[in-house]
Structure 1
Amino acid sequence: MVAVFLAPVYILANIFTAYWLIRWMKAVHPLFHHPAVLGVILALYAFFALSLLTGFLVKRDPIHRILKVISNCWLGMYLYFLGFTAILVLLRWILAHTALTETWLYSPMGLKTVGLGAILFVTGLCIYGMVHAGHIFTTRYEVSSKKEGNLKIALVADLHLGYSIGGRQMEKMVEKINAEKPDLVVIAGDIFDNEYDAIYEPERTADLLAGLKSRYGTYACYGNHDLDEKILAGFTFETKEERIADRRFGEFLDRAKIHLLEDEVVCIDDAFYLAGRKDPDRIRKTQETRDTPSELLAGLNLSLPIFVIDHQPSELSELAEAGADLDLSGHTHDGQLFPGNILTGLMWENACGRKKIGEMDSIVTSGVGLWGPPMRIGTKAEVVMIHYGK
């Protein structure tokens, strides 16, 4: 539904940027005044701008996959082109309403230079973002506890297996985690990116994840994207019908040796509890219910460490009051693209990193994978290593 509401905004935004692109090109060289040349440029622009829609409508592979990859790349680059264009146009408007209209910046040569500089800068920035997104960093936290136990936990989230993330990124992630020799591996939701069919070579990818090595195994909860549904420009379509998860998601997890916890608590080796929560957005679509923190953790032996996997870092105070010692989350991507990290910081009590909530530690990872644009700018893909103990 959000995609439908944003469609007119997206169309107007593209008219705005196309107008200034043509105006800039005409100022650069007389060739761009020719109708045939302008027609080719506008056709190419329309192809990229509409790839979000054509990738959604055309289902035949490999065309569908190619269009989805193109549209994801376009979306990331376009957001920055739009932002820079809006800033430059606003600057020109300010100059036009001051005594500075005769400055070099407002001259035809200024228009050419600033326009070229913006294009080169944004292009370079996006190329950097694509390369940077493929590098997985390791973030470490030392969490002290009054309870018995000494554990090394590997936390990852937001794999978003699909058009942008596949076997190559998973191979890097598995190698990084295995090198740390953790006691436990936790995946805090959004393992999939809505479409199971979007996963390239799903059997091989599952086998890679099955190669994760730890003392107690790999556990996960589902996130809001772990549901097969139609998606346009990263947004889903609301429906009153109950949605049922693709059975292949579960088969994938079984093959990958990932233990799914859906409002379940397991006591591992009589040493600690691990609870996995259902995702609030996902259950709204599947018309399920989920336990409150107090219901989920009721009756547990509070002398043992209690760890909770919850995709979205919400209800942190309630989890702390219910007795959780450590809450492990993802979902936010730390904004993924600057200035998204500033916005997520305003939206969440703990948008990324570690924060003490009462007696509980909340740790939120920026994730390994990507939502939409295959790039990270101002954020990083990460594996979080947590040393929990006295």
Structure 2
Amino acid sequence: MAVVGLALLAVVVLALLVLVHRYVWRRFVGDTTAPGSPLRRAGTVAVYVLPLLSVGALVSGRAGAPFWLQRVLAWPGYLWLAALLYLTLALLAGEAVRPLLRRALERRAGAAAPEAAPGAAPSGDAASPGSSGSSVVTEAPPAPAPAVPAGASALAAPSRRLFVARTVGGAAAVAGLGTTAYGTYGVLRGPRVKRVTVPLARLPRSAHGFRIAVVSDIHLGPVLGRAHTRRIVDTVNRTQPDLIAVVGDLVDGTVADLGPAAEPLAGLRSRHGAFFVTGNHEYYSGAAPWVEHVRELGLHPLENARVEIAGFDLAGVNDVAGESEGQGPDFGRALGDRDRSRAAVLMAHQPVVIDEAVEHGVDLQLSGHTHGGQLWPGNYIAELSNPTVAGLERYGDTQLYVTRGAGAWGPPVRVGAPSDITVVELASKQA
């Protein structure tokens, strides 16, 4: 039954993509270009090639394609997915403008049509027929002015339709592509630093002001590589944190392909070191080799484990995706035998494990995974499966902080959910 359900879902998604591409082609190409024109041919080719590149970008990694081919497909394929979203949204908004613009042009055309010219009366008096020796002289009436066709000073009906189509299509193209370009710039520029203060009831005065740099969802892959890692490391180090928490989804690919891209992580600097827990994408990429590789780079993996830091316990659990490999989260192992008089900070990639964190007396859970929705209106979809999409919220005696992440999955684009590295400053209520 599960296989049948997935097959039906795939058919629905495929049909939806076909319909969306057909709609985009009609509005951008069919309505605005002449049949047989070079522009129409180019637009028609693009509407077939671009979705194929997107499918290639999505499946090439899972299919084991060479990494160079993944990189070739990734940029155009993933960018088109983001562009398609915002072009479609812009066109749908334009549907409301289209009839208003058409009616405005029709009113202008009607106002330009002159009133009908009245029949001209003879000018001048005719001579009396009885007058002798004089001829009858009658001035011929002036010829009526030629009628001006309706809309001659405006656009003819076919031209109006073309004008409306090109105006709305052009505005939608500027809005959709501009939004995609700005969102791409935001990712490539690198994450910005966010600062949050979190008071913890059990935190001793000696740990007041302890700063944790929270980094998640870096997503090294065929698009974001070594330069992206270098930007993140430099940004983290500038904050001079006491501890660095890397909470999953570091990579989208194997150590063989992405090991060099991850190497700058060896440059992370903090007083108490850098710690790492797995995310769901590590299990798609080979979690065990990546855990060993980050250890070689100087990070400390917390695989359902706990360490004592100055004034509190730092625990980490594996991601729930590891359950399929028998390596899922084990809260009893990570937190079961700890001294509950001490504050506990938990690193867990997905916010959905907050209930277990509350049950085990965690004071603060640090998570990522959601990307804050990444592409608006994706935040509304993320809310359906995550208790918190971004920011700080309280669940009983446990607080949950979710970072939007430092990278991007799929399209290297963020709209309405800027990437961040968060410096969480712990505050003692005894201070």
Aligned to 2:114: none
Return the letter of the residue paired with 1:139: K
Query: Is residue 140 of structure 1 aligned with residue 141 of structure 2?
Result: no
The Cα offsets for residues 252-288 of structure 1, whole Å up to 9 and x where unpaired, read as 212321211122222235x3211111211x1243244
What secondary structure, in the 3-state scheme, does the structure 2 residue paired with 1:308 have?
strand
- Alpha-carbon distance between aligned partners in 1 of 2:18 and 2:362, rounded to the nearest angstrom: 47
The reply to whether residue 102 of structure 1 matches residue 103 of structure 2 is yes
Whether the 8 Å CA contact 1:294–1:318 is kept in 2: the answer is no
Partner of 1:113: 167
Counterparts of 1:365 and 1:104 in 2: how far apart (Å)? 50
Contact 2:304–2:317 (CA under 8 A) maintained in structure 1: yes
- Deviating more after overlay: 328-337 vs 354-363: 354-363
Counterpart CA distance in 2 for 1:309 and 1:117 is 45
Q: Alignment partner for residue 171 of structure 1, among 216, 221, 230?
A: 230
Residue 148 of structure 2 is matched in structure 1 by none
2:240 is aligned to 181
CA RMSD of aligned residues (A): 2.6
Match of 2:250 among 191, 197, 215: 191
1:224: how far off?
0.9
Give the structure 1 partner of residue 290 of structure 2. Answer: 249
Contact persistence 1:313–1:329 (CA under 8 A): yes
The residue type equivalent to 2:44 in the other structure is L
Q: Aligned equivalents of 1:361 and 1:221: distance in 2?
A: 19
| CA deviation map 1:53-93 (0-9, x unaligned) | 3343593453431112211111111111122233434765x
> Which AA in structure 1 matches 2:191?
I
> Within 5 Å, which residues of 2 pair with 1:286-301?
286-291=325-330, 293=331, 296-301=334-339
* Amino acid of the structure 1 residue aligned with 2:89: G
Per-residue displacement from partner, 1:169-206 (whole Å, max 9, x unpaired)? 2222211211222111001111112454553xx33x33
SS at structure 2 position matched to 1:38: helix
Conservation of the 8 A alpha-carbon contact between 2:86 and 2:177: no
Q: Which structure ranks higher in relative contact order (CA pairs < 8 Å, sequence separation ≥ 6)?
A: 1
Letter aligned with residue 253 of structure 1: V
Structure 2 equivalent of residue 351 of structure 1: 389
1:326 Cα offset (Å): 0.9
- Quote the residue 1:45 is aligned against: 47
User: Number of matched residues?
Assistant: 359
- Aligned residue identity for 1:306: A
Query: Equivalents in 1 of 2:399, 2:70: separation in Å?
Result: 43
**How far 1:368 moved relative to its partner?**
0.1
Paired residue secondary structure (2:281): coil
- In the superposition, the TM-score normalised over structure 1's length comes to 0.83
Query: What's the CA shift for 1:20?
Result: 2.4
Instruction: Report the counterpart of residue 209 of structure 1 in structure 2.
Output: 265
User: Does the CA-based 8 Å contact 2:220-2:262 persist in structure 1?
Assistant: no
Alignment of 1:275-286 (within 5 A): 275-280=315-320, 282-286=321-325
Deviations 1:299-340 (A, max 9, x none): 211222211011111132441232111100000100111122
Runs of 5+ in structure 2 lacking a partner? 1-5, 107-159
Query: Paired residue for 2:220?
Result: 161
- The code of the aligned residue for 2:46 comes to L
- Listed one character per residue, the Cα deviations across residues 126-150 of structure 1 (whole Å, up to 9, x for unaligned) are 1111111223211111112232123
Identical counterparts, % of pairs:
26
Structure 1 residue 213 displacement after superposition: 0.6
Q: Give the one of 301, 305, 308 matched to 1:260.
A: 301
**Which runs of no fewer than 5 residues in structure 1 stay unpaired?**
27-31, 230-244
Counterpart mapping for 1:50-89 below 5 A: 50-55=52-57, 56=59, 59-60=65-66, 62-89=68-95
Offset of residue 294 of structure 1: 5.5
Q: Secondary structure at 2:283's aligned position in 1?
A: coil
